[in-house]
Amino acid sequence: MSLKGKNILLGVCGSIAAYKIASLIRLLVKAEAEVQVVMTPEATQFITPLTLSTLSKKPVFVDYYDPKTGEWNNHVHLALKADLLLVAPASANTLAKFAHGLCDNLLTACYLSAKCPVYLAPAMDLDMWKHPATRQNIEKLQAHGNVLIPPGEGELASGLVGEGRLAEPEDIFAFLKSSLTVALPLSGKKALVTAGPTYEAIDPVRFIGNHSSGKMGYAIAKALARLGAEVTLISGPTDLATPPSVYRVDVRSAQQMFEAASAHFGDSDIVVMSAAVADYTPQEVADQKIKKKAEDFNITLKKTVDILGTLGQQKTARQTLVGFALETNNELENAQNKLIRKNADFIVLNSMQDKGAGFATDTNKVTVLQKDGKVIPFDLKSKDDVARDICDLIVQHQFRQ
């Protein structure tokens, strides 16, 4: 599993082993990961924030806010942006705080806000590592789903020789790559996502389009990539940045989107058709800009290719096909009909009647209809959270195959 484009939140605790983190950051940055460092106040006594900021090419955060500017270092934003949280070195003190939910610095606040995988690389003296209290804390943290990167053996700062030494940077780096490959549920799967609007040309300067921003589709592509899938994103015109680890194909028209989707469909295990594709396109496209002359002006339109319906007829048993329906009336009935007609496994229903849902918003409220007849309503959420809900259903469907 490549670490390229992964957002790694790196917590550094107060330990003499903190000096090794400079080498670890260099390895991660060389692998093209995005590394954001958060240090405990005690960690700054062992290695300076300036050193780690220089290596990570990002500001290092220590406190909840900058006392000079009053600017808040948002622990929730830091945690939710992360693809993984790595704490190295993880001191006995910080491990105890994590295990018991104590929150007295920025790093512990990030830990309690994190929804991503958490990796802990302990570093402490032999007697501290072997103490029953530490052992209980480790067991509790592992029971909560945290992943332990075992400490090594060797000479310790106290002069003792034994277990408790921070794993070497190269070993931590290799552990992350190996663990991510094994742990992610969609590792080895290929996913195809369409997103955004299509623009149907009238003349060289005008087009027929819609208000889709592409945010929902991009959130789904990002969520699938975080689950380990190899994602191809076919995008209509948007201003959105390509999600990390996602291969993007840019198109403009419905025909171009159909051709790109068809080219990738056969190799895809998961297909999510979230783009707002135009139903009609001009019969003829003018070579020159149409001048404003007559009081009335008519454009003859023809139907575009039904991408979801066409691909649905080609779908095999190993594939999961997800379509979207934006409705203004008879929502459930129309969505159910679409589910059947398109041979989809899921239809994600948006209603224009729901405040905060639909085009160009950062939130969405959906109801998912399944092929087996089950209807699952979800509350209004951020589009990232909606994407995670949809991806949970996709994972379940893939493992029922």
Of 192, 278, 196, the residue nearest 237 (C-alpha): 196
Q: Give the N- to C-terminal CA distance of the chain in Å, as an integer.
A: 24
Instruction: Scan for tokens 């989107």, then name that residue.
Output: 257
Residue pair 233/243 in contact (Cβ under 8 Å)? The answer is yes
Cα dihedral 186, 141, 25, 160 in deg (nearest 10): -140
Strands (E), 135-259: 147-148, 152-155, 161-165, 190-195, 200-201, 207-208, 230-235, 246-250
Tokens standing for 253? 């028209």
Cα dihedral 41, 161, 168, 93 in deg (nearest 10): -30
Residue pair 37/137 in contact (Cβ under 8 Å)? The answer is no
Write phi, then psi, for 66 (nearest 5 degrees).
-85, 115
Please say if 210 is a catalytic residue. Answer: yes
Question: Coil, strand or helix: which one is 350?
Answer: strand
CA–CA separation, 383 and 84 (whole Å):
20
Residue pair 278/237 in contact (Cβ under 8 Å)? The answer is no
In terms of residues, how long is the chain? 401
Q: Is 98 exposed, middle or buried (0-12, 13-18, 19+ CB in 10 A)?
A: buried
From 74, 93, 210, 343, active-site residue = 210
Tokens standing for 101? 């939910």
CA–CA separation, 244 and 232 (whole Å):
11
Compute how many other C-beta atoms are within 10 angstroms of the C-beta atom of residue 171: 15
Write phi, then psi, for 349 (nearest 5 degrees).
-95, 125
Compute how many other C-beta atoms are within 10 angstroms of the C-beta atom of residue 349: 26
In one-letter notation, the amino acid at residue 144 is H
Q: Which residues are catalytic?
A: 210
